[in-house]
Structure formats: C-alpha cells, structure tokens
C-alpha cells in the first residue's frame, strides 16, 4: 500500500472512531436531575442561623417522606437522592445555594428555603433557569407573584397559606374575642413581619377596631423594655406580634414581667419548641397564633405523620416540618403524574394540582400557585398547644 493511500485510510478510521465516541457520549448524557437510577432533588434550608430549628425540621420531614418513597422502590424504579446545603438563614447564601444546586448539581427541583425573605431572593433565578422551587413555608404573597408586574412566577410553588389570609384571620379572631384596640409589634427588617402587620391592621380597622399604636423592633435585641413600656401605656386589649420564635419569646416574657396582661396574637412564626424555652411556660397563657396545623389535631393523617416523625427523630414535628413533608409529597406526586423528572414537565404537573390530600389539609393550587386551604387558631396553655378553632379557606 502506498503512503498516501495508507494516510487516507488512517484518516477514515480515526474519523469513524471519533464519531463513534461522540455517539457514545450522547447516549450517556443525563438530563437535569437524572443520575443513572436516581432522581436528584435539591434542599435549600436554614440549618444554622436565626431560624435553624425551622430549617432542620423542614429538612428532616422532607427526608422522612423521600425515605418512605425509596423504601417502596422509588419513583418509576428510580431512587430519590437529596442534595442538601445550609443557606445559613441568609438571603445571599440562599441564592448561592440554589445556584449551586441548579448549575452544578443539575437537580430536577428544589425544596426550600423556609422564610419569605430567603425565598424572595431565589424566585427570579428559578424562573430564569426554569427549575421548579417549592417553598413549604414562605407566606409572603410576593413569593409567587411579582408585585411590580403582577406576573406569576412560573417555576415557584408553595404548600403554605398566604400572609394576606393569615393576617386577616388573626384580626378577625381578635375582633371575635371582643378586642376594641390593638397594638401591632413588627420586626423592622423583616418582610414577613411587616406584611402581616399590614394585613392585620387593614382587617382590624375595617371591622371597627382601633390601632392604638405600632412599634418596630430589632429581632437581634435582647432588651425590649423601652418599647413594651410604651405598649403598656396604650392599655391594649390585644397585642399582635407576627414574628419568629426567638424574638417572640423574649418579648412575651418581658411583657408579662412588666405586668402586661393583654392577649397576644401571633403568626406561624411562633411555632417552635424553642418558644417555650425562651419565654417560659408560665408566660405563655392567653396567647394564640395562626398556624397550618398542630400535632394535637386528631386527624388520622396528622397523627400518622407525627408518629413517624417521632419514631425517626425523637421529637414532635412543628408546622414547618408538616409543610415540608407536604412539599416533598407534592413534588413526588407531580413527578409521578408527569411521568418524568424533567423540570418543565414537573412544573406543568405542579400547576395542575387539584384536591391534594396534604397532612396540613387538602388543597388545590390556584392560578398563582398558592394552596387554597384552612387555617388553624392555636391556643397556648402553659406553653402547650391546643386547637382553639379552624377558619375555612378563602
């Protein structure tokens, strides 16, 4: 064989080998969220920082359900693999975590963050990258609908009710208890707290009540006596305190120490075992808060979840844990209905959710990707939760 013919033959062989190699790589390439026999799900939770108990119970609950699914063979024969990171209860870190989950880990969907502020930091990214985010507990209305444009965030969903409903329910409850005047205490740098305060004031005044005063506090303070002295001078029937458990515990304890006997009404941010530790059980009487569920609810679905959680973690799950469990169940349900772990198809299945049988109450996702569901009024008696009443979904 001549040298030129030999070189041409070698070129053909190399070209064919290269094409075969490329073809093989194409067959092995994985779609987002697909890693062999696994479906990758991201977890973006507050595992340290201000609301670490929320993030921990949420992650525990999601893992509880995913483990249950895997024990039964997974989803369509594929096991779920959780890729989890700590967002440190920080907005910038929450965005960093979701960026890593989507761009590096290639997850199919993300559960979390927990708080409204942290979730608001990731919604635009979720839409841009077209990867579904399910927040179990971010109650701010702006999480699913852009307040500037009125446009729904296509890839953002939640399993909790909205602050607009929660704030209204708290005000209606206070009015039904006979409250004539109220003082509103809000955390000055927290969208969640300020939003709830706004909705409470609107409904309370519309119902004939008077806002005797409003004070903003720093959640990182330890001494609230100056603010509470002003509150005491207003002699309110009710004090509305929509905030998270650490600050709530300090404020309630110091208020009772000053001799303030007014009814405290709070929000779902009160729901943590840490509240009683911080406030002291004797101070947690004549206190109520709006919530998504209580472990004392006799509903069989609630009790089955509480039993499973206690057996695995040795603790009673809070409402945020229950909502995360529902979020995990909702995601698995959507993947099964979609018949795929492809993000676009998951999104479409989530948007079509109707009559979903959640632990925190059956719901349908409306056009804004918000669940239409009931709300629980929890009463604290020496720090222990009891179901006072339930308000129907609106």
Per-residue pLDDT tens over the stretch 149-170: 999 999 999 999 999 999 999 9
In whole angstroms, how far apart are CA 258 and each of 228, 229, 252, 287, 383? 8, 8, 10, 16, 19
Structurally, at CATH architecture level, domain 34-161+299-373 sits in 3-Layer(aba) Sandwich (3.40)
Taking alpha carbons only, the member of 185, 178, 183, 132 closest to residue 155 is: 132
Q: Which residues pair with 210 in a beta bridge?
A: 181
Q: What pLDDT, in 10s, does the model give residues 101-153? A: 999 999 999 999 999 999 999 999 999 999 999 999 999 999 999 999 999 99
Return d(Cα 1, Cα 4) in angstroms, integer: 8
Return d(Cα 39, Cα 70) in angstroms, integer: 11
Query: What was the pLDDT predicted at 393?
Result: 74
Query: What was the pLDDT predicted at 258?
Result: 98
Residues forming CATH 3.40.50.2300 domain(s) in the chain: 34-161+299-373, 164-291
- Per-residue burial over 72-109, b = 16 or more CB atoms within 10 Å of its CB, e = otherwise: eebbeebbbbbbbbbbbbbbebbbbbbeebbeebbbbb
Return d(Cα 239, Cα 213) in angstroms, integer: 10
Ranges of residues in the chain whose predicted pLDDT is under 50: 1-30
Q: Please state the CATH superfamily assignment of the domain spanning residues 164-291 in this structure.
A: Response regulator (3.40.50.2300)
Q: pTM of the predicted model, to two decimals? A: 0.80
Query: What was the pLDDT predicted at 171?
Result: 98
Query: What was the pLDDT predicted at 4?
Result: 40
Query: What was the pLDDT predicted at 36?
Result: 72
Written as six digits, the tokens of 388 are: 């006072």
Query: What was the pLDDT predicted at 26?
Result: 37
């Amino acid at each position: 064989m001549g040298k030129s013919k030999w070189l041409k033959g070698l070129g053909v062989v190399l070209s064919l080998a290269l094409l075969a190699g490329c073809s093989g790589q194409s067959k092995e390439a994985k779609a987002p969220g697909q890693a062999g026999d696994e479906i990758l799900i991201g977890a973006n939770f507050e595992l340290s920082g201000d609301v670490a108990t929320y993030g921990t119970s949420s992650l525990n609950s999601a893992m509880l359900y995913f483990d249950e699914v895997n024990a039964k063979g997974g989803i369509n024969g594929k096991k779920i693999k959780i890729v989890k990171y700590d967002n440190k209860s920080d907005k910038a870190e929450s965005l960093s975590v979701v960026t890593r989950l989507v761009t590096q880990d290639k997850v199919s969907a993300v559960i979390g963050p927990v708080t409204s502020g942290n979730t608001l930091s990731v919604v635009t990214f979720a839409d841009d990258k077209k990867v579904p985010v399910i927040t179990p507990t971010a109650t701010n209305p702006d999480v699913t609908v852009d307040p500037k444009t009125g446009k729904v965030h296509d890839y953002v969903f939640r399993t909790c009710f909205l602050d607009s409903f929660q704030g209204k329910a708290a005000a209606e409850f206070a009015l039904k208890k006979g409250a004539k005047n109220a003082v509103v205490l809000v955390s000055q740098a927290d969208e969640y707290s300020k939003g709830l305060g706004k909705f409470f004031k609107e409904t309370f005044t519309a119902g004939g009540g008077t806002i005797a005063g409003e004070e903003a506090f720093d959640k990182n303070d330890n001494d609230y006596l100056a603010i509470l002295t002003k509150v005491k001078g207003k002699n309110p029937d009710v004090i509305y305190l929509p905030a998270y458990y650490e600050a709530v515990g300090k404020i309630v304890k110091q208020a009772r120490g000053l001799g303030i006997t007014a009814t405290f009404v709070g929000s779902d941010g009160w729901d943590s075992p840490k509240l009683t530790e911080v406030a002291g059980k004797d101070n947690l009487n004549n206190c109520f808060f709006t919530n998504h569920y209580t472990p004392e609810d006799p509903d069989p679905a609630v009790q089955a979840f509480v039993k499973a959680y206690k057996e695995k973690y040795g603790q009673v799950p809070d409402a945020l844990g229950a909502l995360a469990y529902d979020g995990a169940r909702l995601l698995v349900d959507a993947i099964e209905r979609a018949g795929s772990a492809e993000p676009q198809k998951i999104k479409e299945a989530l948007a079509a959710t109707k009559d979903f049988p959640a632990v925190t109450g059956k719901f349908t996702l409306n056009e804004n990707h918000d669940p239409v569901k009931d709300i629980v009024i929890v009463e604290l008696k020496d720090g222990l939760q009891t179901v006072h009443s339930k308000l129907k979904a609106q």
